[in-house]
Amino acid sequence: MAMLKSSLAFLVLASAFFLCFIMSIGDGSYDYFQFVQQWPPTNCRVHIKQPCSNPRPLQYFTIHGLWPSNYSNPTIPSNCTGPQFKKILSPQLRSSLMRSWPDVESGNDTRFWAGEWNKHGTCSEQTLNQMQYFDRSHQMWSSFNITKILKNASIVPHPTQTWKYSDIVSPIKKVTQTTPLLRCKRDPAKPKSQFLHEVVLCYEYHALQLIDCNRTAGCWNNVDIKFQ
Ligand code: 5GP
Q: Is residue 219 a part of any domain in this protein?
A: yes
User: Residues near 106 by Cβ (< 8 Å), separated by ≥ 6?
Assistant: 50, 52, 53, 112
Mutate to test the pocket of ligand 1, among 67, 99, 104 (most ligand atoms within 8 A of CB): 104
Question: What's the total number of domains in the chain?
Answer: 1
Phi and psi at residue 60, to the nearest 5°: -145, 155
pLDDT value of position 109: 97
- On whether residue 20 sits in a domain, the answer given is no
Residue 224, phi then psi, degrees to nearest 5:
-60, 155
Kindly state whether residue 1 falls inside one of the protein's structural domains.
Answer: no
Q: Is the residue at 2 inside a domain? A: no
Res 12 pLDDT > 50: no
Decide if 16 is inside a domain: no
Q: Strand pairing of 210-211 and 194-203?
A: antiparallel
Q: What is the mean pLDDT of the chain?
A: 90
65 CA: nearest ligand 1 atom: 4
Phi–psi pair at 185, nearest 5 degrees: -120, 135
Q: Is residue 7 part of a domain?
A: no
* Higher per-residue pLDDT: 208 or 46: 208
Q: 191 alpha carbon to ligand 1 midpoint, in Å?
A: 24
Residue-wise burial string across 17-51, b where 16 or more C-beta atoms lie within 10 A, e elsewhere? eeeeeeebebebebebbbbbbbbbbbbbbbeeeee
For residues 106-117, b (16+ Cβ closer than 10 Å) or e, as one string? eeeeeebbbebb
pLDDT for 216 beyond 90 = no
The answer to whether residue 60 is domain-embedded is yes
Rounded to the nearest 10°, the torsion over CA 90, 92, 93, 98 is 120
| pLDDT value, residue 38 | 98
Supply φ then ψ for residue 66, to 5 degrees: -115, 110
- Half-sphere exposure of residue 55: CA atoms within 13 angstroms, side-chain side: 0
State the alpha helices, DSSP H only, in the chain: 2-25, 40-42, 91-100, 109-119, 130-143, 146-152, 165-176
**Residue with CA closest to ligand 1 atom 8:** 64
Residue 11 falls inside a structural domain: no
Ligand 1 centroid, distance to 64 Cα (angstroms): 7
Ligand 1, pocket residues at CB < 6 Å: 38, 43, 47-48, 64-65, 103-106, 112, 116, 119
For the residues 158-187, what does the mean pLDDT come to? 97
| Predicted TM-score of the model (pTM) | 0.89
Cα(141) to ligand 1 centroid in Å equals 17
Pocket test for ligand 1, best of 25, 36, 112, 197 (most atoms within 8 A of CB): 112
pLDDT, tens digit, 9 for 90 and up, residues 103-132: 999 999 999 999 999 999 999 999 999 999
What is the DSSP code string of 43-82?
IIIII-SSPPSSSS--SS-EEEEEEEE-SS-TT-S-S-SS
Per the structure, the complete domain to which residue 151 belongs is given by: 28-226
Q: Is 120 a catalytic residue?
A: yes
The domain that holds 100 is classified in CATH as 3.90.730.10
